[in-house]
């Protein structure tokens, strides 16, 4: 049996990987995933190229979350994709930064959203992931106001 904490953790992981907020409640028995990372054999040779569709995989939220960690996502890769594999494949942006050079060149920056009530900064791999974490954080404000703190 899945606890509420595990369910929320799984929901946050799925949202940060490009799934809809209600996927955990409305998942289909079978789905199609697309490779954003190439499939390699034990010798490191590419067996399945990026963009390959994998049809008929189980749509169970636990299963697709595990596959999303391996670079298999519910949408095909494109130029606007912000997953870590597509960002790494594109390489560093040719645009010159406005400020002084940063020491961590090539590191994917997280999206950050700030709470308007207390200044808490919620970070995520994508903007939707950061917003999802901010929603979870905002429930602490609701709980503390209900208690009278």
- Dump pLDDT digits (tens) for 70-128: 999 988 998 888 888 888 888 765 555 565 555 555 555 678 888 888 888 888 778 87
User: Does 144 or 10 have the greater pLDDT score?
Assistant: 10
Q: Which residue has the higher pLDDT, 109 or 64?
A: 64
pLDDT number for residue 53: 94
Annotated domain spans of the chain: 1-91, 109-149
Q: What is the mean pLDDT of residues 16-26?
A: 85
Q: Are strands 111-114 and 121-124 parallel, antiparallel or unpaired?
A: antiparallel
In the prediction, which pLDDT does 3 show?
81
pLDDT value at position 85? 86
Q: What is the mean pLDDT of the chain?
A: 81
At 23-37, the pLDDT tens digits run 888 888 999 999 999
Judged by average pLDDT, the poorest of 17-31, 51-65, 128-142 is 128-142
Q: Are the beta carbons of 60 and 53 closer than 8 angstroms?
A: no
Measured between alpha carbons, how far is 144 from 140 in angstroms, rounded to an integer?
6
The pLDDT, as a whole number, for residue 135 is 82
The fraction of the chain above a pLDDT of 90, given in percent, is 29
CA distance 17 to 90: 18
């Amino acid at each position: 049996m899945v606890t509420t904490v595990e369910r929320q953790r799984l929901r946050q992981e799925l949202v940060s990987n490009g799934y809809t907020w209600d996927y955990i409640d409305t998942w289909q028995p079978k789905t199609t995933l697309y490779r954003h990372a190439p499939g390699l054999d034990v010798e490191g040779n590419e067996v399945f190229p990026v963009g390959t569709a994998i049809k008929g995989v189980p749509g169970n939220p636990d299963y697709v979350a595990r596959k999303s960690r391996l670079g298999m996502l519910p949408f095909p890769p494109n130029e606007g994709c912000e997953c870590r594999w597509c960002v790494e494949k594109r390489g560093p942006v040719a645009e010159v930064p406005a400020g002084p050079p940063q020491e961590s060149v090539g590191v994917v920056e997280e999206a950050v959203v700030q709470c308007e009530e207390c200044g808490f900064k919620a970070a995520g791999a994508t903007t939707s992931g950061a917003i999802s974490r901010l929603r979870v954080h905002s429930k602490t404000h609701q709980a503390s106001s209900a208690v009278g703190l």
